[in-house]
Structure 1
Amino acid sequence: MKALIVEDEELAVRKLRKLLLEVEDTIEILADTAGIEETVAWLLSQQAAGNPPPDLIFMDIELADGQSFEIFDRIHITSTVIFTTSYDEYALQAFKVNSIDYLLKPIQREDLSRSLKKFKDLRKTASQAVPPTINLEKLLQELQGKHSKEYRKRFLVNQGQRMISVEVKDIAYFYTEDRFAFFRTWTNQKFLVDYTLDELEKSLEPELFYRVNRGIMVSHSAVKQIQPYYGNRLSLVLNPAIEKEALVSREKVSDFKLWMGK
Structure 2
Amino acid sequence: MNALIIEDEKLVALELTASIAEVDPTITIVGTVGSVKTALRWFAENAEPDLIFADIQLADGISFTIFEKFQLTCPIIFTTAYNEYAIQAFKVNGIDYLLKPVDWDELRKAITKARSLTKQPGKLDIDVQKLMAALNMSPTALKPTYKEHFLGNARNSWVPVRIADIAYIMRDELNFMVTNTSERYILDYDTLDQIESMLNPDQFYRASRHCIININSVQSVKGLANLKLQLILKAPNHQFAIDISRDKAPSFKKWLEK
- The alpha carbon displacement at 1:222 in A equals 3.3
Instruction: State which of 16, 28, 40 in structure 1 corresponds to 2:13.
Output: 16
Q: Which residue does 2:127 correspond to in 1?
A: 135
Give the whole-Å Cα distance in 1 for the aligned partners of 2:222 and 2:171.
21
What are the equivalent positions in structure 2 for 1:33-44 lying under 5 Å apart? none
Residue identity in the other structure for 2:50: S
**In structure 2, do the counterparts of structure 1 residues 112 and 132 end up closer, same or farther at CA, with 3 Å as the change threshold?**
farther
Give the whole-Å Cα distance in 2 for the aligned partners of 1:261 and 1:219.
14
**In structure 2, do the counterparts of structure 1 residues 217 and 80 end up closer, same or farther at CA, with 3 Å as the change threshold?**
same
Structure 2 residue 215 is the aligned partner of structure 1 residue 220 = yes
- The alpha carbon displacement at 1:217 in A equals 2.9
Deviations 1:41-64 (A, max 9, x none): xxxxxxxxxxxxxxxxx5565459
CA contact (8 A) 1:59 1:82 kept: no
Q: Which residue does 1:86 correspond to in 2?
A: 59
Q: Which residue does 2:204 correspond to in 1?
A: 209
Give the whole-Å Cα distance in 2 for the aligned partners of 1:89 and 1:201.
13
Residue identity in the other structure for 1:3: N
**SS at 1:94's partner residue?**
helix
- The alpha carbon displacement at 1:24 in A equals 5.9
Q: How many residues align?
A: 220
- The alpha carbon displacement at 1:219 in A equals 1.0
**In structure 2, do the counterparts of structure 1 residues 139 and 246 end up closer, same or farther at CA, with 3 Å as the change threshold?**
farther
**SS at 2:28's partner residue?**
strand
**In structure 2, do the counterparts of structure 1 residues 164 and 25 end up closer, same or farther at CA, with 3 Å as the change threshold?**
closer
Instruction: State which of 167, 172, 192 in structure 2 corresponds to 1:172.
Output: 167
Q: Which residue does 2:116 correspond to in 1?
A: 124
Give the whole-Å Cα distance in 2 for the aligned partners of 1:199 and 1:21.
23
CA contact (8 A) 1:209 1:220 kept: yes
Q: Which residue does 2:184 correspond to in 1?
A: 190
Q: For structure 2, which runs of at least 5 residues remain unmatched after alignment?
A: 81-97
Residue identity in the other structure for 1:181: N
Give the whole-Å Cα distance in 2 for the aligned partners of 1:90 and 1:249.
33
Q: Which residue does 1:30 correspond to in 2?
A: 28
Structure 2 residue 255 is the aligned partner of structure 1 residue 259 = yes
- The alpha carbon displacement at 1:132 in A equals 2.7
Deviations 1:100-132 (A, max 9, x none): 448699xx9728678885564354357442133
**In structure 2, do the counterparts of structure 1 residues 109 and 187 end up closer, same or farther at CA, with 3 Å as the change threshold?**
same
What are the equivalent positions in structure 2 for 1:45-60 lying under 5 Å apart? none
> Is the radius of gyration larger for structure 1 or structure 2?
2
Q: Which residue does 2:2 correspond to in 1?
A: 3
Q: For structure 1, which runs of at least 5 residues remain unmatched after alignment?
A: 34-57
**SS at 2:100's partner residue?**
helix
Give the whole-Å Cα distance in 2 for the aligned partners of 1:184 and 1:253.
26
- The alpha carbon displacement at 1:3 in A equals 2.9
**In structure 2, do the counterparts of structure 1 residues 157 and 86 end up closer, same or farther at CA, with 3 Å as the change threshold?**
closer
Structure 2 residue 77 is the aligned partner of structure 1 residue 97 = no
Q: Which residue does 2:42 correspond to in 1?
A: 68
Q: Which residue does 2:100 correspond to in 1?
A: 110
**In structure 2, do the counterparts of structure 1 residues 149 and 24 end up closer, same or farther at CA, with 3 Å as the change threshold?**
same
Give the whole-Å Cα distance in 2 for the aligned partners of 1:22 and 1:124.
20
CA contact (8 A) 1:216 1:246 kept: no
- The alpha carbon displacement at 1:169 in A equals 4.3
- The alpha carbon displacement at 1:67 in A equals 1.5
CA contact (8 A) 1:176 1:215 kept: yes
Give the whole-Å Cα distance in 2 for the aligned partners of 1:237 and 1:79.
47
CA contact (8 A) 1:225 1:236 kept: yes
Q: Which residue does 2:84 correspond to in 1?
A: none
